[in-house]
């Protein structure tokens, strides 16, 4: 059914008015970066929105990977280890492996983190898994997903008659948000005791493989895709100690065990 733009704007306007008189939060401080921000949706709405979207998004990404419960528990263990030291440790974090055939990871509002099984196969150590999950937890901590919803509401309300607003704006993360999630992710990795250099090893491998055209460009799309961003991450990584857990053997045993026993 096609909804006329005027009715759509009226609907969104009514939703916003409803929020003004119910869970409206107004000016608040961002829990991750400390900046003041104007909130249209409350934390409760953010969490409920994430859970209501989750089933649909997981289906879109090939459904949940349930064949290896030990691997699911391992990913959840790494995720919760980082979430516990994040700036929003109280969110109801959930870490779900999905069957998406592309290497992919994403965060839904309220702390639901999805990572594709294919992505797990591309990583080499627990520290690299921690790097991917920490980046997504950075998005959750800084309310990037909630801000995406707020942007979408505003654009739905005001419309875009001249198509001036790029299609992607308000739907995904902005470049600044990606860089902030990179920084926050490294901070959380260090707090959780992981080797922050895993962020650089992922980026280096990606650059090498893309250069040789061995991998699709969307690989590690939630990680540095521009040289400037990579250089910024390199500089930021230098601030952390050159130590921390890498756990290469543990990771490879956990990730490949299911495939080994299937071959027997």
Nearest to 143 by CA among 86, 82, 189: 86
Nearest distance in Å: CB 107, Zn ion:
7
Residue number with the smallest Cβ distance to Zn ion = 222
Instruction: Choose between 44 and 102: whose C-beta lies nearer to Zn ion.
Output: 102
Report d(CA 70, CA 263) in Å as an integer: 18
Nearest distance in Å: CB 24, Zn ion:
28
Instruction: Choose between 12 and 82: whose C-beta lies nearer to Zn ion.
Output: 82
From the CA atom positions of the chain, what is the Rg in Å?
19
Q: Which of 222, 230, 237, 247 touches Zn ion by CB under 5 A?
A: 222
Instruction: Choose between 8 and 205: whose C-beta lies nearer to Zn ion.
Output: 205
Instruction: Tell me the site size for Zn ion, rule CB under 5 A.
Output: 3
Nearest distance in Å: CB 130, Zn ion:
15
User: Which two tokens mark 77?
Assistant: 């263990």
Nearest to 125 by CA among 215, 253, 236: 253
Which is it for the CA torsion 102, 104, 108, 111, positive or negative? positive
Binding mask 161-200 for Zn ion (x = CB under 5 A): -----------------x--x-------------------
Using an 8 Å Cβ cutoff, are 109 and 145 in contact? yes
Q: Which residues bind Zn ion (CB under 5 A)?
A: 178, 181, 222
């Amino acid at each position: 059914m096609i909804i006329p733009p005027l009715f759509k704007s009226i609907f969104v306007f009514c939703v916003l008015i409803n929020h003004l008189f119910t869970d409206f939060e107004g000016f608040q401080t961002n829990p991750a970066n400390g900046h003041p921000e104007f909130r249209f949706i409350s934390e409760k709405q953010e969490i409920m929105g994430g859970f209501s979207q989750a089933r649909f998004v997981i289906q879109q990404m090939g459904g949940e990977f349930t064949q290896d419960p030990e691997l699911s528990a391992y990913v959840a263990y790494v995720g919760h280890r980082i979430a516990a030291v994040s700036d929003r440790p109280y969110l109801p974090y959930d870490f779900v492996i999905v069957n998406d055939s592309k290497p992919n990871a994403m965060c839904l509002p309220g702390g639901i983190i999805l990572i594709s099984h294919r992505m797990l196969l591309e990583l080499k150590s627990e520290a690299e898994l921690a790097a991917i999950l920490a980046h997504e937890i950075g998005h959750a901590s800084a309310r990037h997903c909630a801000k995406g919803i707020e942007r979408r509401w505003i654009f739905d309300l005001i419309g875009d008659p001249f198509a001036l607003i790029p299609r992607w704006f308000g739907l995904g993360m902005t470049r600044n948000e990606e860089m902030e999630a990179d920084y926050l992710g490294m901070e959380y990795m260090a707090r959780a005791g992981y080797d922050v250099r895993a962020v650089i090893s992922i980026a280096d491998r990606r650059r090498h493989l893309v250069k040789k055209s061995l991998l699709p460009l969307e690989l590690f799309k939630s990680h540095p895709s521009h040289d400037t961003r990579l250089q910024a991450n390199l500089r930021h990584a230098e601030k952390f100690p050159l130590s921390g857990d890498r756990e290469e053997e543990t990771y490879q045993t956990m990730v490949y065990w299911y495939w080994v026993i299937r071959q027997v």
